[in-house]
Each structure stands twice: as C-alpha cells, then as structure tokens.
Amino acid sequence: MLQRNDFPEDFVFGVSTAAYQIEGQAFGGSGRTHWDDFAETPGNVVRAENGSIACDHYNRWAEDLDLIRDGGYGAYRFSASWARVLPEGRGTLNPEGLDFYDRLVDGMLERGIKPMLTLYHWELPSPLADLGGWRNRDVASWFADYSVLLMDRLGDRIWKTATINELWCVSFLSHFFGEHAPGLRDIRATARSVHHVLLAHGMATEALRAAGHGDIGAVCNFSYAEPADDSPEAAEAAATFDAHYNQLFLSAFFRKKYPDRILSALERHLPDRWQDDFDVIGTPVDWLGVNYYTREILAPAPGPWPANKSVPGPLPKTQMGWEIYPEGLHHFLHLANDYAGGLPLYVTENGMANDDTVVNGAVDDSARIDYLAAHFAAAKRAMDEGVPLEGYFVWSLMDNFEWALGYEKRFGLVHVDFDTLVRTPKASYHALKTALSR
Ligand code: FCB
C-alpha cells in the first residue's frame, strides 16, 4: 500500500458518508423523503429496510467524528438531508435540523477535520416528490433556495461544497432503471430528470455564489464501459453506455451541450427550450469529484434504446458482484481532467462492499485493503502523469443503509452491528491509519 509520503504534502485523505444512509431519518423532526416511500413499497428494498434508524449517527455523531480523527483523516465528506432542514422541502424550517448540522460542523473543526458538504445525496422531501420531484422544472429553484438557506448557516465553516451527488443516479438509475426512488422506468421522466438535475446544479451554484459562498464542485459517478467481445455491435453497446453514464454530465457541465448519442435518443423527451438552460448548467465550478467503483461489460440487446445489457465479467468481484478494476479509476481521472481542463479533482468516493463479520472483536477485511491499495496506486499513476488530483475520499466511514440493498452490503472501514449499533473498526481502518498517518 502506498504511504502518506508518496502523495504531495497538501494531498487530503478523507472518508465519505451520506445523510440518509447513516443519520436515522426518524430523529430530530425530519420530514418524510421519497426514500421512505420507496422502501415502504414491497419489492423495492431488501427486506423493506429503510433509513429511519440507520447508524443512529444523529445521536452518535461525536463518536463517529472521533473515529475519523483517530483514523488520521484530514477531511470528511458528509451530506445534509433536505427534509431534515426543510421538512416540506420549502417553507417552514426545522431548527433542530439546522442545529444538528451546526454541531456536526463545529465537531469536525474541533477535531481538525475539514468539512466537505454535499447538499443533495438523494433524499428528496416527499411533498416535493408529490409535485413531480425531478420531473418538475421548479425543483431547480426549490433546490437553490434550500442550498442558500443551509449555506447561510454553515458556509462560514465549510471547506468545500458539492451540489448534487451522482446526477446519473438521480436521473437514470431512479427514473429509467427504476432501482432507486422514485422507482420509475420511463424514458420521458428520465430525459426531464436529467435536464432538471443539471439545471438544479447550475441554479444552486449561481445562487450560492450570489450569496457569497464559494469553492463549489460537482460530483459524478463513472463506470468503465467494456465491450463484451470484439464485434461492432458490442462496441456500439459499450459506446451507448459510456455516453449516458460517463460523458453526458461532463459534456453538459464543461461543453454546455448534450452528446449527440444522447440527443438522438432523448431529445424529443426534453423540456421545451432546453437549449436555453446551458449557460446556467455550465456555470463554472471550482472542482470536480469523481466517484468510481467498477466496470460494466456491455453486450447488445434487442429492443429500444439503449439496446444493450450488462453481462458478468471474468474479474474478481466484491460483495456487490462488482468487478475489481482499478485501471478504470486511472482512465476516469484522465477523462475528468480532459473535460475539466485543469480544475482540481477529488476522488469523492471509492471503496468496496465485503461480507464482513466480527470475530473475537476484530474484522479481517484484507480484500478491502487490497482493493484500496490498488486504487490508490491507479490514482497516483494518473497524478504522476499530470492529473491535478488533490484528495481521495474512501466510501465509506462505516457500514450503512446501502439503498435498495438495505443493510446487507457492507462498505465501511468501520463495522456496524445493526442490532446494537456498536462500531468496530475493521482491519482496513487500522491499515489505512498506519499508511496515512503523518
Ligand atoms: C454510490 C453512492 C453511495 C453509495 C455507494 C456504494 O453510488 O453515492 O451513496 O451507495 O455508491
């Protein structure tokens, strides 16, 4: 495993989490979210689990911040829940919610941890979902208003702010593939959610700047598109995947246009005058976050666009069934740099799920140590080739609510027993502490 000294002096290592996955939505006067609704609907989430208790981070946050400090991390990427701040999504504030984030940020600073805030990591307030959620253009101004309200309270202490986590997941995964809330499988809803989530990012960025807040970034997820074989059909299947998953959002942010492959499939479903929004969508950001886990093997499939399907690959897999492919991280750091043209980059998420168990008070997750070592090396290789990577955040601090897969998939450096909520640092936590300490 590479050591702290292999990276530049000011390179930042951190850990990532998200509000709904750890806090406990039931606590502190939070409003209902579309994830609560999705989880309550049979068949959507493993064992119909939800985030109402999660890791009880709402009450145990001080212990969790101690784990981050003691692990030797310089930064913490966390998210705020929109519905905790504004239970209806707009209008009446929940002062308890704002106070919670205030304490949390102060707690980071007291421990020497830089706060990196994500404004939206997927828990749309249900009353806004009732109005069409990401299909409704107004969501962009609702999101901008919430963003300014939250940052007017926290912004004086926030290190960096990300607008929306993984726009592909907010749009495609949730409106086309139906795997995340609101669970739609509808191409028109997909096109509209793509456009509105981009517009929300741009409007919030502009509104935050107008309110005096800076250091704002976008965070995208990437998955390497590998054709299943040498045929032109498989190449086309992979190119289609690459267009919607990896290129669409970078193209919108940095080239102010949709890729041709996207327009030929989605243009007739986009809202009227969509072209007029690109100056807002492409408003400059200060940094770009790269979330990376795996690759997909793509084969052609009968039927309408995207006319492809993922097939199993030959490489070793994580508990998610995801292939371990560190070269993909190297590839996407270069791609991100090509689009972002020299802006600072961060790996904002990378890590693996493993079927971890506590045995005699310890968790042997050597597979995770190997996974992270290989991905650190891939990132370092890109840096040595000139990619301006400035930090690396491991997903995740602790085991948590892994969305549609419930509590079964364990991504943490720290094990959580979901009956007792006891935290047990895993071998990977200790190994990274040794490698990354100054
Ligand atoms: C990412 C999400 C994060 C977590 C990891 C495993 O797509 O941003 O919340 O679920 O995957």
Of 291, 294, 296, 368, the one to substitute when testing ligand 1's pocket (max ligand atoms within 8 A of C-beta) is 291
Catalytic residue among 23, 166, 226, 296: 166
Name the token pair of 88.
């209806």
For ligand 1, is residue 172 a contact (CB within 6 Å)? no
Give the C-alpha separation, 118 to 122, whole Å: 10
Of 77, 165, 372, 395, the one to substitute when testing ligand 1's pocket (max ligand atoms within 8 A of C-beta) is 395
For ligand 1, is residue 223 a contact (CB within 6 Å)? no
pLDDT of residue 432: 98
For ligand 1, is residue 169 a contact (CB within 6 Å)? yes
Give the C-alpha separation, 39 to 71, whole Å: 33
For ligand 1, is residue 403 a contact (CB within 6 Å)? yes
For ligand 1, is residue 81 a contact (CB within 6 Å)? no
CATH assignment of 4-436, among 3.40.1080.10, 3.40.50.1370, 3.20.20.80, 3.30.200.20: 3.20.20.80
Nearest-atom index, ligand 1, CA of 411: 6
Is position 327 annotated as part of the catalytic site? no
Detail the DSSP E strand segments found in 84-215: 114-120, 160-165
At residue 339, what is the residue type?
Y
Burial grade of 173 (CB within 10 A; 0-12, 13-18, 19 or more): buried
**Do 397 and 67 contact (CB within 8 A), yes or no?**
yes
pLDDT of residue 437: 86
DSSP assignment of 181-242 equals TT----HHHHHHHHHHHHHHHHHHHHHHHHTT---EEEEEEEEEEEESSSSHHHHHHHHHHH
Nearest-atom index, ligand 1, CA of 403: 10
For ligand 1, is residue 245 a contact (CB within 6 Å)? no
Name the token pair of 369.
């140590």
Name the token pair of 430.
């200790």
Of 350, 368, 403, 413, the one to substitute when testing ligand 1's pocket (max ligand atoms within 8 A of C-beta) is 403
Q: What is the tens place of the pLDDT at every residue in 84-132? A: 999 999 999 999 999 999 999 999 999 999 999 999 999 999 999 999 9
pTM of the shown model: 0.98
Mean predicted lDDT score pLDDT of the chain:
98
Give the C-alpha separation, 35 to 23, whole Å: 14
pLDDT of residue 438: 80
Is position 349 annotated as part of the catalytic site? yes
Nearest-atom index, ligand 1, CA of 351: 6
Nearest-atom index, ligand 1, CA of 169: 7
Domain coordinates of the chain in residue numbers?
4-436
Nearest-atom index, ligand 1, CA of 409: 6
Low-confidence ranges of the chain (pLDDT < 50): none
Helix axes 95-110, 57-70, angle to 10 degrees: 20
For ligand 1, is residue 18 a contact (CB within 6 Å)? yes
Rounded to 5 degrees, φ, ψ at 371 are -60, -50
pLDDT of residue 195: 99
Q: Distance, CA 176 to ligand 1 centroid (Å)?
A: 18
Give the C-alpha separation, 246 to 231, whole Å: 22
Q: Distance, CA 21 to ligand 1 centroid (Å)?
A: 9
